[in-house]
């Protein structure tokens, strides 16, 4: 019995260590995705380029992610999840070094595309490595560690980027990834477990082509809508082309025995709920790191430092949720917890629409702290319950599909937030976004989170009880 307990504790330590290694990689990617936005005006001056054109440095990275994420599951099966995860960190780190050495916009775009190739493999393959390491009863605890970087990175990014640009150099925006990447490579090599990887079928080349074109066109359309970067006819071509290539992929996937993105995974109710509800939820939450700092600095006139300190309350709430997540899901089960928590997160997001320049700071801090707390719980629940019913042999396919949809929904969140802000400014006739415009944007994205509530009811009340350890209460006779 003692030997069995020792083995179980040893396995739990290994799972948590693997979760922390993957969480560091996820944090690096999420931080990089937001910290660069603050540095773009300064970089434009150094390159002698139009600041508006610098947006291509963001778009090229997102397009690279969109094209290569679908292939991540096949790569992990073909070459081993640990090896691909380590290689992806190496590629991302090399891309970061090149970004920091860029002397022109064209060179920066090339380096960002290389970064995107590494990022596309890093997060889904890291998650797959963790799922293949953890026992089912350990998945919830492991995913709780992965949820925090997704929330903390975008919150820390803008104030950190502002500090670096103001007091050091914009090149350090990329150079800060290098020590984190090197540490990750060492930790993966030394501590990440070797997993029993699956021998995959032949690479679905046509699937990679159609899915890559579909996602690239749709991401390009979402990144340019409402920003005046390209003529309307170009946006129409991007949207129409993305839809057409999506139809091509859907028809191809129905006939292929092992499609790159396997839609048959939606037959598992927990995966379906996590994708449907999680996508709508992320669409709303994804706009927060974009809208909140802008409102604080433009509408309220706060300095970047003060804005960063206020928005950090969301990250603090996410950290506080970590020890409570498992207890709540074990006590109430997945479905009831997610249902109640969806209501709470929606209300707290809608409450951001009430912020005004004379709103007491303690009230703003309280809303953001509680919002970060309950959003962290919802992320943990969505990210773990998705794999409750997926068989081991389909785990790589599920991580690839889940990561692809997750990336789309987060990008669309920023797009929707920006589009609503622009529309409100046009209606009100404001030259710059005012408090009322931000309130409208928060009402819209908060309503999107409300739409995620009924999707939870598609899941059985006892769903994933073996993962959470929930024991249904039996009434006394």
pLDDT value of position 1: 46
User: Looking at domain 1-203, what is its CATH homologous superfamily?
Assistant: MFS general substrate transporter like domains (1.20.1250.20)
The two structure tokens encoding residue 216? 């690239």
The two structure tokens encoding residue 172? 């350090």
Q: What would the pLDDT profile of 170-198 be if each residue is shown by its tens digit?
A: 888 888 888 888 988 888 888 777 766 56
Comparing 1-203 with 264-477, is the CATH topology the same? yes
- Is residue 179 within 8 A of residue 364, CB to CB? The reply is no
- Cα angle, residue 354 at apex, residues 349 and 355 outer, rounded to 5°: 95
Model pTM above 0.75: yes
- In the chain, where are the structural domains located? 1-203, 264-477
Residue 56's alpha-carbon distances to 52, 61, 70, 244, in angstroms, are 9, 8, 22, 24
Taking the chain (477 residues) in consecutive chunks of 10 residues, what is each chunk's mean pLDDT? 63 76 80 71 75 68 82 85 90 92 87 90 84 77 70 68 76 87 87 68 84 83 64 81 90 86 90 91 80 81 74 76 80 90 92 91 91 87 88 84 83 77 83 86 89 88 82 60
Class at the top of the CATH hierarchy for domain 264-477: mainly alpha
pLDDT value of position 273: 92
- Is residue 361 within 8 A of residue 300, CB to CB? The reply is no
- Spell out the residues 6+ positions from residue 417 whose beta carbon is closer than 8 angstroms to its own: 286, 287, 290, 291, 441, 444, 445
pLDDT value of position 215: 84
Distance of alpha carbon 463 from its chain centroid, rounded?
24
């Amino acid at each position: 019995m003692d030997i069995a307990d020792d083995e179980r504790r040893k396995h739990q330590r290994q799972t948590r260590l693997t979760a922390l290694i993957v969480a560091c990689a996820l944090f690096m990617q999420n931080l990089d995705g937001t910290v660069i936005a603050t540095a773009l005006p300064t970089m434009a001056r150094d390159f002698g380029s139009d600041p508006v054109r610098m947006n291509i440095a963001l778009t090229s990275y997102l397009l690279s992610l969109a094209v290569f994420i679908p292939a991540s599951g096949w790569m992990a099966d073909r070459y081993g999840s640990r090896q691909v995860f380590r290689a992806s960190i190496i590629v991302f780190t090399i891309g970061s070094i090149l970004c920091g050495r860029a002397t022109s916009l064209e060179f920066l775009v090339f380096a960002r595309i290389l970064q995107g190739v590494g990022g596309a493999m890093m997060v889904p393959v890291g998650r797959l490595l963790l799922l293949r390491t953890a026992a089912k009863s350990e998945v919830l605890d492991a995913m709780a560690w992965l949820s925090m970087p997704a929330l903390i990175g975008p919150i820390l990014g803008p104030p950190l980027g502002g500090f670096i640009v103001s007091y050091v150099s914009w090149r350090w925006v990329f150079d800060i990834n290098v020590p984190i990447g090197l540490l990750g490579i060492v930790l993966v090599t030394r501590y990440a477990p070797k997993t029993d990887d699956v021998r995959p079928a032949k690479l679905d080349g046509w699937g990679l082509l159609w899915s890559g074109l579909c996602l690239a066109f749709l991401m390009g359309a979402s990144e340019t809508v409402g920003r005046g970067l390209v003529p309307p006819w170009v946006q129409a071509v991007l949207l129409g082309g993305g839809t057409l290539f999506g139809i091509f992929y859907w028809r191809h996937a129905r006939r292929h025995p092992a499609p790159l993105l396997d839609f048959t995974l939606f037959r598992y109710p927990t995966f379906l709920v996590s994708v449907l509800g999680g996508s709508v939820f992320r669409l709303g939450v994804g706009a927060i790191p974009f809208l909140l700092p802008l409102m604080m600095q433009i509408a309220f006139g706060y300095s970047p430092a003060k804005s960063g300190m206020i928005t950090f309350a969301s990250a603090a709430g996410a950290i506080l949720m970590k020890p409570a997540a498992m207890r709540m899901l074990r006590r109430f089960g997945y479905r009831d917890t997610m249902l109640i928590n969806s209501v709470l997160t929606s209300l707290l997001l809608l409450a951001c629409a009430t912020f005004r320049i004379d709103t007491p700071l303690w009230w703003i801090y309280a809303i953001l702290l509680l919002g970060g707390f309950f959003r962290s719980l919802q992320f943990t629940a969505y990210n773990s319950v998705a794999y409750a019913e997926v068989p081991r042999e389909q785990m790589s396919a599920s991580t690839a599909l889940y990561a692809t949809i997750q990336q789309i929904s987060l990008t669309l969140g920023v797009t929707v937030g920006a589009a609503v802000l622009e529309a409100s400014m046009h209606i009100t006739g404001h030259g710059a976004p005012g408090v009322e415009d931000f309130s409208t944007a928060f009402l819209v994205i908060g309503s999107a989170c409300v739409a995620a509530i009924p999707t939870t009811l598609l899941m059985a009340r006892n769903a994933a009880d073996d993962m959470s350890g929930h024991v249904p209460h039996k009434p006394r006779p």
